Structure 1
Amino acid sequence: MKINWGTSIVIAFALFISFILFFVIKSHNPNNKHDLVSEEYYKDELKFQDEIDKQNNVKNLEEAFIVQKNSDGIEIQFPSQFTNDNISGVVIMARPSNKALDFETAIQLNNNKLLLSKSNLVEGNWNLKIEFSSEGTPYLYKKSIQF
């Protein structure tokens, strides 16, 4: 049987439509999770200049934060000017690929160090966010880390 050019065009259109329908059906699969970075991203956008100011406060510190992976988890060394008495805030660990793994820890320093236990961490990419204040000055430190 010989296929003429008209039949070939109809077959090509049918294959193209099938190709497009496959991706439409696949994208609407309820098993696909599309988590937002933030549920209230419009409100967060309005506060963006505050974040920039807090990050600039961190850049103006004499010492830098040191974040290291060790056998117990992730160790964060704060600059020596911060002690448990003059600091309050939280450390937020966000997993970009799975919102269910995100957690938050209050800052409790031990010799200017904070340990995030590996029992809370899964191997992969994490976004570290340290939001704190000391003596009335707000600070924000962000870093993407691989655990």
Structure 2
Amino acid sequence: MKWNWGTGIFIFLTLFLMASAGFIIFAINQDVNLVHRDYYEKGVDYTEQMNVNARSVPYKNALNVNLQNDVFQIDIDDLLAAKIDSGNVLLFRPSSSKNDVLISLNKQAKTIQISKDELINGRYILKFSWYSEGLRYELDRPVNIQ
């Protein structure tokens, strides 16, 4: 077989297309984790979120987070617990939404316990949100599970 410039170009283009196809297949198989699935709606409602955060500032020290051997415990201050009409606790895992834990709050609950078996080691963001007299409040706090 005779090697000339046409054969070299053909071999180069063939290898380039095979490498491109391999990268496309690799990219398609990657797991994409968005911070929020409804990020557009979250952006539109950003002013409301700023109002919620401003309302929540007086309660920033109302949560006490404890991690014991087999239980992750959230203690709620008595004054805050008396004001809660409804709400939820989200342990948000930034690296993978598959590991998020969502718990609904009972009215006037003072302690929330989560088994450590439900959590994996690493960083979570505790999003504690509640309603009181028709207004929404929210506290965010980073948590490391060991």
TM-score normalised to the size of structure 2? 0.72
Are positions 1:49 and 2:47 aligned together? Answer: yes
Q: Can you list the C-alpha shifts for 1:101-137, whole angstroms capped at 9, x where unaligned? A: 2221111324xx2222213211112121111012333
* Alignment size in residue pairs: 142
CA separation of 1:136 and 1:79: change in aligned 2, threshold 3 A = farther
Give the partner amino acid of 2:143: I
Task: State the match for 1:122 in structure 2.
Answer: 120
CA distance, structure 1, for counterparts of residue 32 and residue 47 of structure 2: 27
Partner of residue 98, structure 1: 96
The structure 1 residue matched to 2:83, chosen from 83, 86, 91, is 86
Change (3 A) 1:62 1:22: closer
Please state which structure has a larger fraction of its residues in helix. Answer: 2
TM-score for the superposition, normalised by structure 1: 0.72
Equivalent residue runs for 1:1-147 within 5 Å:
23-29=23-29, 32-61=30-59, 63-83=61-81, 86-87=83-84, 88-108=86-106, 109-110=109-110, 113-147=111-145
Structure 2: distance between partners of 1:146 and 1:37:
18
Q: CA deviation at 1:14?
A: 9.7
SS in 2 for 1:82: helix
How far does residue 89 in structure 1 lie from its aligned partner after superposition?
0.3
For structure 1, the 5+ residue unaligned runs are 1-12
Q: Give RMSD over aligned pairs.
A: 3.1
- Distance 1:144-1:80 versus aligned 2 partners, 3 A rule: same
Percent identity of paired positions between Structure 1 and Structure 2 = 24
- Residues of 1 paired with 2:117 and 2:50: CA distance? 32
Q: Aligned AA for 1:86?
A: K
Residue 24 of structure 1 and its aligned partner are, at CA, apart by 4.5
Residue ranges of structure 2 left out of the alignment (5+ in a row):
1-12
Instruction: Note if contact 1:93-1:127 (Cα within 8 Å) is conserved in structure 2.
Output: yes
Moved more, 124-133 or 135-144: 135-144
SS at structure 1 position matched to 2:87:
strand
